[in-house]
Amino acid sequence: MPALSPEIMQAIQASWPIVLMGVIFYFLLYRPQKKEQQRRQELLNNLKKGERVVTIGGLYGTIVALNEKTVTLKIADKVEVDISRTAVSHNQNQPKA
């Protein structure tokens, strides 16, 4: 195997910190964010009628109707509100992960 020239070795030594930073950013920022996005999308796709949910604004309610973009929540007797499906924060029936 031919020996590497000093210029190539110097370039490799100068670039390894940048590669290391890229790996650190991947494991500390990108992967956890991607997992959280997948968990949230799964939650929104699996919403069902009758489930108790909490909205991003802190509104507690039971789902009475669903469609592609909106959710109708019953928050009290004779009080129903339509919210955006993406405004659902978490499901009260399942433990928050």
Do 52 and 41 share a domain, yes or no? no
Tell me, what's the pLDDT at 12? 84
CATH code of residue 58: 2.30.30
- DSSP code at position 92: S
Q: Which residue in 91, 96, 79 sits closest to 51, CA to CA? A: 91
pLDDT above 90 covers a percentage of the chain that reads 72
Q: Which residue in 49, 59, 43 sits closest to 91, CA to CA? A: 43
Number of domains in the chain: 2
At 30-75, the pLDDT tens digits run: 999 999 999 999 999 999 999 999 999 999 999 999 999 999 999 9
Is 70 exceeded by the pLDDT of residue 95?
no
Do 52 and 76 share a domain, yes or no? yes
Determine the Cα–Cα distance for residues 59 and 81; give it in Å rounded to an integer. 10
Is 80 exceeded by the pLDDT of residue 80?
yes
Do 32 and 53 share a domain, yes or no? no
Do 30 and 59 share a domain, yes or no? no
For residue 58, the enclosing domain spans: 48-97
44, two tokens: 């929104």
